[in-house]
Structure 1
Amino acid sequence: MELRHLSYFQAVAEELNYRKAAERLFISQPGLSRQIKQLEEELGVQLFERDKKHVELTAAGAFLKGEVDFVLNHLESTKQQLLEIAAGREGELRIGFLGSASNQVLPDLLKKLNSLLPKITTSLEELSNQMQVEMIQKDKLDLGFVRLASVPEDLEMKSVFRDTFSLVVPSDHPIQAKSFKSVGQFAADSFVLFSSDYSNYYYEQILGICRDAGFMPKIKHKSVHALTIFRLVENGLGVAIVPTSLQKGYDLKVRFMEIPGISKFTELSVIWKPENRNPVLCKVLEMI
């Protein structure tokens, strides 16, 4: 039994006329009759009652018609789905990200995806920079949102968001925004920083901001999670320096004060592997 046997059977079952079915299939009527006969011999049942004037389905034929309709419809649906997948309009995108990407950049991308490519699903994992790099290299992720100065040669990187730095202090800290002139005013405070595991490049930037202000920070606590850092600041365990955009989405007793008079900024970048074969990736990179 071959797929053409099922297609020929379906045509005869729908037309209940061998001549019309043969014309529809662009084959000869005797050739169609031979194909149906082969199918009946293969299955060991009679599929049609036929005389000179009428063609009717047997009980077995009527049952087979329902099954064949399902199979051929499913094959057509599969074919269309394959075309969608190959064109990057259907499938899954695996995204790694730092927590700071979830405030604006990542939600904006997901909104675009839902609007323009509604059949695309996403798998999201909050991971360190290094873990994202490794997983993209191993084809376990398609995209990553990182804070890095550079990436290995087999990856590509593009800046997607440039941000300033802000100091985070408890809401009752005596230094207010109007009197905040330099990070050097906080030289005596303890600091809560993102761990170098979060981003060694970012960690060095923070130390550089403090060095430029004339002191080395007294680092008491480190974390890779913004919420943990903000909780520690809220409880008076230190102050922190973070990307300004991180002030969105938290309702805590802390104040964000953008650091004045510094040239340093932080960039969130997207990274990917050019050899990645996921067709969805190309569509998403166009959006980004």
Structure 2
Amino acid sequence: MEFRHLRYFLVLAEELHFGRAAQRLAITQPPLSLNIQQLEASVGAQLFTRSSKAVQLTAAGRAFVPQARGLLDQAQQAARHARDVSQGLAGSLQVGFAGTMLYRGLPQLLKRFQARHPKLRLTLRELSSSDQLIELAQERLDLGFVHTTRVPPGLSQILVARQPFVACLPAGHPLARRRTLSLHQLQGEPFAVVSRAVSADYHERILALCTEAGFAPEIRSELRHWLSVVSLVSQGLGVALVPAALRQSALPGAAFVPLDAATGVYETYCLWKTARDHAAMGAFLDAVRSAAKRLQSPHAD
């Protein structure tokens, strides 16, 4: 049974006349008759009665009409979906992200992208940068937003955003109301940091910044998420250096004070497997590049 057989059957079922049906199908009557015979042989039942005066559907033919129509509709839907996927208009993407991206443009990027690509399904997974690298290598993620400069071979990247570190202090801390402060003023304070296992780059970056300021930080807490670092500081259990975007977390009890000297930047990259063949990824990467231009502009937060 072929889809051509179903289409011919449905036209003949509507016309009940071989001449008119053949005309609609832009074929001659002999091919139409042959295709109907082939369909009946495939189904194993007579679908039409034929006489010199009329063509009528049999009981089996009447029962077959809705089934044939449903099969053709499904085939057409499947073809449309396949075309949309091949053109990047439909399908799904698995997107990983580090938590700070929630305060650095990711929600806005996703809203704009979904409005323009309603047939594309995005699945989000919050993961550490190191976990995202593993998932990307295993192709369990299509793209990831990470905070690491240690990009393995085989991955492509877009620099999405860069931002300074700021001091995060308990709201009641003596330095919390300063307009700026020097990093060496935090010497002797208990530090909260992101665990080395979660983000080795930035764990080491913070240690290096403190060393450059003339002291070794007294690390009391190592956590898996930046937001956990801010939450702990808000409870008066330490101080921290955090990406500036976390000011938007607005956690009660936490104060954010800019540093008075350049301390390097916290960079966000979008990574994907270079050899990954996924049409929808091209559309998403275009959206990422547009977002990156906005986030790296001089007026971006």
Please indicate, yes or no, whether the TM-score normalized by the shorter chain is above 0.5: yes
Question: What 5-or-longer segments of structure 1 have no aligned partner?
Answer: none
Following superposition, the deviation at residue 26 of structure 1 comes to 3.0
Letter in 1 for 2:276: N
Matches of 1:234 and 1:31 in 2, distance apart?
A: 80
RMSD (Å), alpha carbons: 1.6
- Name the residue aligned to 2:4: 4
- Name the residue aligned to 1:13: 13
Following superposition, the deviation at residue 179 of structure 1 comes to 5.8
Count of matched residue positions in the alignment of Structure 1 and Structure 2: 288
- Name the residue aligned to 1:129: 129
- Name the residue aligned to 2:75: 75
TM-score, length-normalised on structure 2?
0.90
Is the 2:179–2:257 contact (alpha carbons within 8 Å) kept by the matching residues of 1? Answer: no
Letter in 1 for 2:106: L
Question: 1:82-134: CA deviations, max 9, x gaps?
Answer: 00011111111111111111223321221122111111111111112121112
Is the 1:18–1:32 contact (alpha carbons within 8 Å) kept by the matching residues of 2? Answer: yes
Q: Which moved more, 1:104-113 or 1:138-147?
A: 104-113
Following superposition, the deviation at residue 267 of structure 1 comes to 0.8
Q: Is it true that 1:188 corresponds to 2:184 in the alignment?
A: no
- Name the residue aligned to 1:287: 287
Following superposition, the deviation at residue 66 of structure 1 comes to 0.8
- Name the residue aligned to 1:27: 27
Following superposition, the deviation at residue 53 of structure 1 comes to 3.3
Matches of 1:113 and 1:179 in 2, distance apart?
A: 38
Give the direction of change, closer, same or farther, for the CA distance of 1:263–1:188 in structure 2 (3 Å limit).
Answer: closer
Matches of 1:179 and 1:92 in 2, distance apart?
A: 46
SS at match of 1:266: strand
- Name the residue aligned to 1:240: 240
- Name the residue aligned to 2:59: 59
Matches of 2:181 and 2:11 in 1, distance apart?
A: 83
- Name the residue aligned to 1:218: 218
Matches of 1:179 and 1:20 in 2, distance apart?
A: 86
TM-score, length-normalised on structure 1?
0.94
Matches of 1:76 and 1:228 in 2, distance apart?
A: 50
Following superposition, the deviation at residue 210 of structure 1 comes to 1.2
Is the 2:176–2:256 contact (alpha carbons within 8 Å) kept by the matching residues of 1? Answer: no
Instruction: For 1:57-206, list aligned pairs within 5 A.
Output: 57-178=57-178, 180-206=180-206
Matches of 1:225 and 1:55 in 2, distance apart?
A: 74
SS at match of 2:140: coil
Question: 1:178-221: CA deviations, max 9, x gaps?
Answer: 36430111102110011112221111221122122211110001
Question: 1:232-276: CA deviations, max 9, x gaps?
Answer: 212221101100101213432110112221141111111111111
Matches of 2:92 and 2:42 in 1, distance apart?
A: 41
Give the direction of change, closer, same or farther, for the CA distance of 1:71–1:35 in structure 2 (3 Å limit).
Answer: same
Question: What 5-or-longer segments of structure 2 have no aligned partner?
Answer: 289-301
Question: 1:133-176: CA deviations, max 9, x gaps?
Answer: 12111111011111112311211121101111111111111113
Is the 1:96–1:143 contact (alpha carbons within 8 Å) kept by the matching residues of 2? Answer: yes
